[in-house]
A and B are shown apart, each in its own frame.
Chain A
């Protein structure tokens, strides 16, 4: 474990990413404490520029809602959607990949054609269609993001399992008569955790981007303050009131950057032989 952190810390970018992520997490947790009222509340005059007296550090939007409050509360929604949709995508992708890789043959063919079917549809277009059909809400957005992001997981897990199942310890488990499900769950999958973890951190980032894009287009949950919604709502006033869109944009940029940096650090730490420093 110590070696893991040592290798992780060797990647300076990853440490910076982790710090940024910690700050965003703190914002998400502290939002109800620092801004106890709803971020939708019209608290003062509209279009106040940043650093306005009265504590409106990031200004107010077209209805006089506090942009800073929106960003803090939006952090919660973005992180929750990023995490939950990634977990959902993993829950779909890992079993499909594991079964395809372990059994091979017809099962592999069938599952991989099914996966390719999803991969051939442009992800964002599919997400829009799903949300539009199901009505925009937290659940439909999580579902849509999960449905468009599981295929790469399935392909990754399949590749890993394909190579792992020929290893001697797996062969040995078969010989001593362990059940197939037990072999997959206890011998094969634990060894795929490293690449999945790396991939998941990147997936959280792309899920946040996807949710922001949906909200920007007006397909977000209309009852939840999100960064994408704030950018979309402020877009048409960009000339007079740049801050309404700018600060949530910065928040998305930092979060996605941080997650990518952390993902790279995890990759270095978990796959010492592959890391750029060569171990």
Chain B
């Protein structure tokens, strides 16, 4: 027997409540307003992406722009409930092994070719299996077969139940790639990479290097009347202060998350017709922490790490450094995703307790280097505040600055003692959390692997078991793993970050999904 499954409605209701609490200022929208056609929207994106070919590049800016050119099988509500996109409907077998996707008929690629099941097979089984850093491990480890079971039907069979696969069909992880353009070619050398062809609501027009990317309305889009906006420009302005000025003077309509310095947000928000939202990052739920190289010295000692956690004033970081944006993090799993446990011990800001723990540890006054994350001013200020917190309890700290390449190189080769870092959670611990703590991911060359060198067999086992467990067994396993990690502190969790998007309130239905401004222009329209 086969049951229709569209989401975990009950389980996610509580999550939706939490998320709405995180929304700082959503302009009340007139629910009855009828969408209007027309208009041009200018967005600031930073930095300029290396390419718009979303299958080959997954940089943040690439996703923000190409997320409207390409589409995947599904979209996700802000509570991570799957919604139809190129797949009209889907069915999951009772044993949670067979996923059948019914595709929408009559969809055309931007060059006029029809989109069929062959394109899905090519994308998932051939192209992305070869090149995509997140889809590749999932498809290789979990998927037994991907088959065409009709011109507009695709069936994916798993080796074992793997619930998180339903979160893999967003446009950044599995963008649909046109088979007629890429099959049998050298993907990276394909000249069509410069003029991406997708099925999305927006078509690529022009990329004026160093200046802007221009997209226009896809006249043949399969949803009647959509998209509503005629033209979109993504502009590249290198300096954060200039971007804020461009917004204030009206050159730019949207400052995408990350392109505005957090401390400018309250000032911009006070102006007329300016809306700020922190929604649209639910799939990513960026989790910021201080990574500790736990291989040697005092940092290898649990009690010393616990002392540091008590010494760092995370409320101060949230309220002052991050201008009140974000939520203090208490666990490896973000409270904005599933499986976050609220039943965990908390490390309160308590310098006295920190001094006691340090006295008990073997720390004897050696200087500890803190590598500053070179992502702009806010991170530098945060490093300075963290250093002061730790010096206040008697830990000698030394800040070390470097550039982005130097940071990646040093952290990726484990040549650091402490540094800030933030990672995306991708909606499920099996996709975005376990990678930071399992010992099999202590690999050189990637600053987002288990660079701490943390190894615990119990943690490895629990994460592996939880990934393939039946839905009802997973919460208990993740509860246990959170308890261990919160006690051992391989990293010091700081803040569940908010990346506010600042935009003109005339833009309606602007952020409606869990991947932010990446796939916004299917629904967005301009109040005129």
Q: Interface residues, chain A, CB within 8 Å of chain B?
A: 38, 40-42, 46, 62-64, 132, 135-136, 218-219, 222-223, 233, 236-237, 239-240
| Most chain A CB atoms below 10 A, which of B381, B399, B401 | B401
In contact, B385 and A63 (Cβ under 8 angstroms): yes
Do B400 and A42 touch across chains, with their CB atoms under 8 A apart? no
The B contact surface, by secondary structure, is helix
Whether A233 pairs with B401 at a CB distance below 8 angstroms is no
Interface string of B386-415 (1 = CB under 8 A from A): 011001100000111111000000000000
B267:A240 contact, CB within 8 angstroms: yes
Assess the B380–A40 pair: CB atoms within 8 A. no
List which B247-306 residues lie within 8 A (CB) of chain A: 261, 263-264, 267
| Contact of A218 with B380 at beta-carbon distance under 8 Å, contacts A63-B320, A63-B385, A236-B240 already known | yes
Residues of B near A41 (CB, < 8 A) are 388, 392
Pair B384/A63 contact, Cβ less than 8 Å: yes
Q: Which of A42, A218, A240 contacts B385 (CB 8 A)?
A: A42
Q: A222-B372, A222-B401 are in contact. Are A233 and B377 (CB under 8 A)?
A: yes
Q: Can you give 7 A-B contacts (C-beta < 8 A)?
A: A63-B320, A63-B321, A63-B384, A222-B383, A222-B399, A233-B380, A236-B240
Instruction: Verify B321–A236 contact, CB threshold 8 A.
Output: no
By a beta-carbon cutoff of 8 Å, the part of chain B in contact with chain A is 240-241, 261, 263-264, 267, 316, 320-321, 372, 377, 380-381, 383-385, 387-388, 391-392, 398-403
Q: Once the chains are docked, how many angstroms separate the CA of A64 from the CA of B320?
A: 9
- Report the minimal beta-carbon distance from B501 to chain A, rounded to whole angstroms: 20
> Contact between B381 and A62 (Cβ–Cβ < 8 Å)?
yes
On whether the beta carbons of A223 and B320 are closer than 8 Å, the reply is: no
A266-B267 Cα distance, complex, nearest whole Å: 50
Residues of B within 8 A of A218 (CB): 380, 401
| Docked CA distance A41–B387 (Å) | 10
Q: How far is the CB of B280 from chain A (nearest CB, A)?
A: 25
CB neighbours (8 Å) of A236 from chain B are 240-241, 261, 263-264, 377
Do the beta carbons of A63 and B399 come within 8 Å of each other? no
Cβ–Cβ < 8 Å partners of B263 in chain A: 62, 236-237
Report the separation of the CA atoms of residues A33 and B259 in the bound assembly, to the nearest whole angstrom.
Answer: 43
Given A40-B384, A240-B267, list of 11 further CB < 8 A pairs?
Answer: A38-B388, A40-B387, A42-B385, A63-B320, A63-B321, A219-B401, A222-B372, A223-B399, A233-B377, A233-B381, A236-B264
Query: Is there contact, CB below 8 Å, between B398 and A223?
Result: yes
Min CB distance, B402 to chain A, in Å?
A: 7
Question: Which single member of A62, A219, A222, A239 contacts B400 (CB below 8 Å)?
Answer: A222
Tell me whether B400 and A135 are in contact (CB under 8 A). yes
Once the chains are docked, how many angstroms separate the CA of A258 from the CA of B384?
32
Closest 7 CB pairs of A and B: A222-B399, A222-B401, A40-B388, A223-B399, A136-B401, A46-B320, A63-B385
Given the complex of chains A and B, what is the CA–CA distance between A218 and B376 in angstroms? 10
Given contacts A218-B401, A222-B372, contact A63 B381 (CB under 8 A): yes
B381 CB contacts on chain A under 8 angstroms: 62-63, 233
- Select from chain A the residue with minimum beta-carbon distance to B370: A222
In angstroms, Cα B65 to Cα A250, docked, is: 45
Complex Cα distance, B159 from A183, in Å, reads 90
By a CB distance below 8 angstroms, the chain B residues around A240 are 267
The answer to whether A42 and B380 touch across the interface, beta carbons within 8 angstroms, is: no
Contact present for A42 and B388 (CB under 8 Å): yes
A223: chain B residues at CB < 8 Å are: 398-399
Minimum CB–CB distance for A142 against chain B, Å: 17
Chain B residue with minimal CB distance to A64? B320
Q: Is the CB of B401 within 8 A of A135?
A: yes
A42–B316 contact, CB under 8 A? Answer: yes
Which residues of B are found within 8 Å of A40, using beta-carbon distances? 384, 387-388, 391
